[in-house]
Structure 1
Amino acid sequence: MGGVADQEAGFPAGSDTEIESLAEFDAAAAHATLAGFRVQSVDLTTRTPVLLRTDTAGAVFLGCAMEPDAAAKVRADGALVFPPVPHLPFDPYRGTLYSPAELFEGLGAGYERTPDALSYAWFQRTKADGDIFSSMLRSIHDDAISDALDELLVGARVVGVMGGHAMGRGTAEYEGAAVLGRTLARAGFTVATGGGPGAMEAANLGAYAAPFEDAMLGSALELLAEEPSFRPSVSAWARAAFEVRAKWPRGGASVGIPTWFYGHEPPNAFAGAIAKYFANATREDGLLARSNAGVVFLPGAAGTVQEIFDNATPNYYESRGTPTPMVLVDRAHWTERLPTWPLLEALAEDRPMAGRIALVDSVSEAPEALARMSR
């Protein structure tokens, strides 16, 4: 976001700013020039008269629908125009993150008809076909998502909550992860997860429940337990989540960062903003890098182990400055079933990160451990 804010702050038209809505476009165009602006995925078909009388030299239009005469004039001005790409289930130039309602639009007709499922199907068809155009579209989309995510999280204290997708609704573990998300949100943190089912959904649910009385979370957990898993039916699993959202609207905000690389795992509907990527490596690194207030690792399998050491590496080398806190939950899991903690502890020996890692027995201990290491 930038165009309107910069104009109101007195920056001259032509500074490097982004326009991501009609309101921002109108405010910027009132200065009679769009030079230097980047207009991102805004439908301008109703703004032909404005475009015809406004100087657009030096502007960049990314995926903006325009009437033919307006598009011709803008190009004649010397603006760069990247037209919308037809017949895609996603917008590669989008200026904002996804909402659950957007990704699950059409759920009533079955999950396979939703934009989320259609985008995954497109990815499956194109990911190995060697077509540079398809790979370019994926890259543009993911860069736009990263830009929108950075804009959303400016000034936020972000705690990442990592954990496996297999954690079922109706279990004590799921409830614990939800309480963790609620506790972190009430403490003023922005909860960020991998955006999928299981532990990720539970933490996002907890953040969603933060503004309500404590009893709301218990009631929501009971409703969700009727559809404990996204298998065999994503549709039923997602509908249960939207029933909770409908019963308790305007819940707390949090972020989900899922990927179509693991498209068999649908995004959860409790993250208010969803940064969904095609490239899993970009998604993984981005999630951990933005968790500037620490990361809690709930029990998981290979994916969670990878995330632990993806986060440990910059902490070890201090490549992002002061190491961020890392809390591993469930001593038996991380020392016996998947003995990750001994290696992490050995890496941290005699390094600044030694004071920023902790192993706790239960999820209820994680917030205090985070607070202790952040002092």
Structure 2
Amino acid sequence: MSDQLRRAGAVVLGGGERTRQPMADEALLQHTGQPWSHLDPWRVLRIQSEFVEGFDALKELPPAVSVFGSARTSTDHPMYQAAVELGRGLVHRGFAVITGGGPGIMEAANRGAFEAEGTSVGLGIELPNEQGMNEFISLGVNFRYFFARKTMFLKYSQGFITMPGGFGTLDELFEALTLIQTGKVKNFPMVLFGRAHWAPLMEWVRDTMAEHGFIARSDLSLVTVTDDVEEALDAMGRPGEIPG
């Protein structure tokens, strides 16, 4: 989508101040001073419609694994190629591949799945500088609200492979770990791919959080940290298996 156009759900907005409208998440969190009855009931219906649309689009999706990582990863980066191999390998093991639908790591995982003739899913999100879906998507759904999108990742995935990324990647990682730790999702493998990237974080989790009792030592076993594509795929198991 060009720099002059931005999509807001079904609406396309042109550039300039006259068409500047807040994103749906932004508008939801704004304090307007108006009574809740002026705007929020309509937002509730819009939120409901996002869940219905997502559930309807993904209801026949085969068992899937979500791959997360930076949208800023270039095509010549080693992590891009690793993500392609992961996407391909997941399809060969019988999984669909789900990403956020954008460029970088997301594109790479979708590319591997698409070129392996598997199901390649993109769950997009409305952002200020929208990048659009990558070209390797066989099924795409766009969301206005992060929380609706997150529900789809968790509902339709059997596990997560988390590659190097920024705040969005960390957000998905720690939300999933919280749900695993509290038993909201079960038998849900989590792989952190890229030892050099994740080692400082895991050291802090071990030496600060676990050392001071903020998490249990056993919580450290909730993740597999690896640089090896086959080890990451093995951690996901196969559709229908309970990962060991």
Q: TM-score range by the shorter chain?
A: 0.7 to 0.9
Report what 2:115 is aligned to.
209
| CA offset digits 1:210-257 (Å, max 9, x no partner) | 13xxxxxxxxxxxxxxxxxxxxxxxxxxxxxxxxxxxxxxxx322111
Q: Aligned pairs, how many?
A: 219
The one of the two structures with greater contact order (alpha-carbon pairs below 8 A, sep at least 6) is 2
Report what 1:303 is aligned to.
168
Aligned residues of 2:190 and 2:224 also touching (Cα < 8 A) = yes
Following superposition, the deviation at residue 370 of structure 1 comes to 2.6
Distance 1:140 1:277, change over 3 A: same
Counterpart CA distance in 2 for 1:341 and 1:264 is 35
Following superposition, the deviation at residue 331 of structure 1 comes to 1.1
Following superposition, the deviation at residue 350 of structure 1 comes to 3.1
Counterpart CA distance in 1 for 2:66 and 2:93 is 14
Q: Using the TM superposition, name which of 361-370 and 278-287 deviates more.
A: 361-370
Match of 2:88 among 157, 182, 186: 182
1:256 equivalent in alignment to 2:125: no
Q: Mapping of 1:10-159 within 5 angstroms?
A: 119=11, 121=13, 125-126=21-22, 127=24, 128=27, 132=39, 135=43, 138-153=46-61, 156-159=62-65
Q: Using the TM superposition, name which of 168-177 and 361-370 deviates more.
A: 361-370
The alignment's TM-score, normalised by the length of structure 1, stands at 0.51
| CA offset digits 1:15-38 (Å, max 9, x no partner) | xxxxxxxxxxxxxxxxxxxxxxxx
Aligned residues of 1:120 and 1:260 also touching (Cα < 8 A) = no
Counterpart CA distance in 2 for 1:203 and 1:138 is 30
Give the letter for the 2:194 counterpart: D
Report what 1:291 is aligned to.
157
Aligned residues of 2:51 and 2:148 also touching (Cα < 8 A) = no
Aligned residues of 1:314 and 1:323 also touching (Cα < 8 A) = no
Match of 1:343 among 205, 219, 232: 205
Distance 1:119 1:366, change over 3 A: farther
1:324 equivalent in alignment to 2:188: yes
Q: Which runs of 5+ in 2 are unaligned?
A: 33-37
Counterpart CA distance in 1 for 2:57 and 2:188 is 20
Counterpart CA distance in 1 for 2:148 and 2:84 is 26
RMSD in angstroms over aligned alpha carbons?
Answer: 3.2
Distance 1:262 1:182, change over 3 A: farther
Larger radius of gyration: 1
| 1:332 aligned counterpart, secondary structure | helix
Counterpart CA distance in 1 for 2:133 and 2:167 is 19
Report what 2:223 is aligned to.
357
| CA offset digits 1:98-118 (Å, max 9, x no partner) | xxxxxxxxx7xx575686797
The alignment's TM-score, normalised by the length of structure 2, stands at 0.76
Aligned residues of 2:5 and 2:12 also touching (Cα < 8 A) = no
Distance 1:111 1:189, change over 3 A: farther
Following superposition, the deviation at residue 124 of structure 1 comes to 5.5
Following superposition, the deviation at residue 157 of structure 1 comes to 1.5
Q: Which runs of 5+ in 1 are unaligned?
A: 1-106, 212-251
Distance 1:118 1:112, change over 3 A: farther
Counterpart CA distance in 2 for 1:314 and 1:166 is 27
